Amino acid sequence: MEKHYTIGQFKKMSGLTARTLQYYDEIGILTAQRTEGGHRYYLESHVHTLQKIVSLKFLGFSLEETADFINKDSWNEKDSLIFQRDMMEKKREQLNDSIRLLNLAIEQIETGGALHTDIFISMINNVHMEKSHKRWFAAFMPEPRINALFDRLKSEQETIEKKSMHLFSRLKEAIGIDPTSSEVGKLVAELMEFAMEIVGDELPLLEQIPAADLEEDPWLFPYPFTPEEEQWLKQAVNHYMEKEGIQIGKN
Amino acid sequence: MEKHYTIGQFKKMSGLTARTLQYYDEIGILTAQRTEGGHRYYLESHVHTLQKIVSLKFLGFSLEETADFINKDSWNEKDSLIFQRDMMEKKREQLNDSIRLLNLAIEQIETGGALHTDIFISMINNVHMEKSHKRWFAAFMPEPRINALFDRLKSEQETIEKKSMHLFSRLKEAIGIDPTSSEVGKLVAELMEFAMEIVGDELPLLEQIPAADLEEDPWLFPYPFTPEEEQWLKQAVNHYMEKEGIQIGKN
DNA sequence: CTTGCACATCACGTAACGTGATGTTTTAGA
DNA sequence: TCTAAAACATCACGTTACGTGATGTGCAAG
């Protein structure tokens, strides 16, 4: 005589809840046998089917997709497997981005600094809107050069993000201090150097982009400083420029 | 006069749908202004708030959590950030597992072999049930040694999985062939060698585990072969053992 | 003044169950 | 054999973050 499990035994074995088993029964993905009184019971074959179900769920398939797999017993069409893998890889990239950004914020707090929301937001945005930014830049640069620029930045993304976070935070905290002081001068010097590092050889082209265009779109390019803060920053940068005798537009 | 956006302009700018904006209005996370006629309109401050919302969503927060963040404008409690990061890291581990397993199946198909569902299932299970397996082994081995064993296997997980997939598949395809043939003998030899590699120095202890215990739990240890297939495999292994004159139990 | 578009509000659908509420079957013990 | 408790059954509504119509107004242009 075949072993049979009540729903209570079955749920203990599988670790699923009774509700889940009832739901699987309801949608017909795991149809239980019934006693005369109407209680569910399960056989070894159900164990096997349920194995398949939880395994496929583990791979990230929906119950509907899972049902398809269960009905056919050879899984040799690689299309759905490849599709699924690609979906999961996209999700993983997403997670990598958010984990990296969360760590950035955590580190900033742990090193004793304050986390400035505007800075954080603009950095998140930078990652989130990458594709839109690429399209935007397409109006000023040929595509291969855009890609080269973005690829270079991406290869050092984490370093750049950490530097940005640190530098912008210190700048924000310096607001109010005399813009001509040597303390502020040092920060601005750092900022300029950092900006040069970012733009690299694309300086001439990027300089041509009118600053107004950038500020015109508050959605695509949220600014980490408020208008008053920016006012202060401009003073500081101007002072620095005059002292150094350089004439370059500031982004 | 402040710039104001209709919902149509706002959705184009943000890339969200009107329904989403209406929903955010409804749950009070982004309350729009209204014209006399009842139409929604948005100001610059709404742009800023929406930036926060989409940024926090990008980090994986729910709208409810997002609402909390928006209400307080300093984000210096690292607890929720750390909690969130840990959640996301768990999800990423999950994804890594499923991607690796999907690739395993895809490769198996691409190299021209058939994907045997029972083998695949039992390999998925192996990853999925790792914690349960550890608990199960705790009845036979002290915990530090279990951890050492599992850590060793984990460091070569992908290699082991590929080998398993390849070897078990060839075994399954050999079923029906004379168990005493040299072809089968070779496969069994590979199997034994592989098994030795896996158990490593834990052979004596693992040998003590009665095979019945393993087979007794069809949920925890789904077997990649059917009873008939197993019968054949036993014959092949026995033949191999006699020929080699070794006496070791088989798992 | 009308026409057409943009916008408004219901209201139900989604996925995979969780969580009671309430009634019936099964089983263990007297 | 009877009873009380445990186990099980079926509704039915809640969850998240919107999508998707259906149907009824506001608004700007001709």
Asked if A109 and B78 come within 8 Å (Cβ–Cβ), the reply is: yes
pLDDT of residue A248: 54
pLDDT: which is higher, A193 or A200:
A193
CA of B41 to C1' of C29 (A): 72
Reduced 3-state DSSP string for B161-183: HHHHHHHHHHHHHHECECCCCHH
The per-residue pLDDT for range B84-101, each reduced to its tens digit, is 999 999 999 999 999 999
Q: What is the pLDDT of residue B120?
A: 96
pLDDT tens, position by position, A28-46: 999 999 999 999 999 999 9
CA–CA distance, A217 with A222 (Å, rounded to integer): 8
Name the percent of chain A lying above pLDDT 90. Answer: 80
pLDDT of residue B200: 85
Statement: the CB of B46 is under 7 Å from strand C: no
Distance CA B8, CA B17 (A): 9
Return the nearest residue to D18, CA–C1'. Answer: B20
Confidence of residue A214 (pLDDT cuts 50, 70, 90): confident
Query: Mind listing the pLDDT tens digit of every residue in chain B (251 residues)?
Result: 577 899 999 999 999 999 999 999 999 999 999 999 999 999 999 999 999 999 999 999 999 999 999 988 788 889 999 999 999 999 999 999 999 999 999 999 999 889 999 999 999 999 999 999 999 999 888 999 999 999 999 999 999 999 999 999 999 999 989 999 999 999 999 999 999 999 988 888 888 888 888 877 888 999 999 999 999 999 999 999 888 765 555 54
pLDDT of residue A251: 47
Hey, is the C-beta of B105 within 8 angstroms of any chain A C-beta?
yes
A28 CB closer than 7 A to any strand C atom:
no
* Domains, chain A: 5-71 (1.10.1660.10), 107-244 (no CATH)
Mean pLDDT calculated for residue range A113-142: 94
Question: Tokens in use for B156?
Answer: 């070569």
The Å distance, CA of B24 to C1' of D17, is 10
Q: Is the pLDDT of residue A247 over 70?
A: no
Cα distance between residue A120 and residue B190, in whole Å: 55
- pLDDT at residue number B248: 54
Of B44, B55, B219, the CB nearest to A128: B55
Q: What is the dihedral of CA B177, B182, B187, B192, to 10 degrees?
A: 120
> Which of B3, B13, B75 to mutate against chain A (most A CBs within 10 Å)?
B75
**Is the Cβ–Cβ distance between B187 and B229 less than 8 Å?**
no
Whole-number pLDDT of residue B247: 55
What percent of chain A is helix, strand and coil (3-state, nearest 5)? 70, 5, 25
| Residues B38, B22: Cα–Cα separation, whole Å | 13
Distance of CA A83 to the CA centre of its chain: 21
Average pLDDT, chain A: 92
pLDDT at A246 over 80: no
List, in order, residues 6 or more apart from B224 with CB less than 8 Å away: B116, B118, B119, B121, B122, B123, B168, B172
Q: State whether B95 and A99 contact (CB < 8 Å).
A: no
Query: Which ipTM score applies to this complex?
Result: 0.93
Whole-number pLDDT of residue A145: 93
Query: Does residue A91 have a pLDDT over 80?
Result: yes
B89 touches chain A (CB under 8 A): yes
**Partner-chain contact A55 B127, CB within 8 Å:** no
Q: Tokens 């530098």 label which residue? A: A167
Give the residue-averaged pLDDT of A115-133: 95
Within the 106-125 window of chain A, which residues sit less than 8 Å (CB to CB) from chain B? 106, 109-110, 114-115, 117, 120-121, 124-125
Alpha carbon distance A31, A38 (integer Å) = 13
| Nucleotides of strand D lying closer than 7 angstroms to a protein CB | 7-10, 16-20, 25-27
A45 touches chain B (CB under 8 A): no
B140 three-class SS: coil
Measured distance CA(B69)–CA(B65) in Å, rounded: 7
The reply to whether A19 has its C-beta less than 7 Å from any atom of strand C is yes
pLDDT of B251: 47
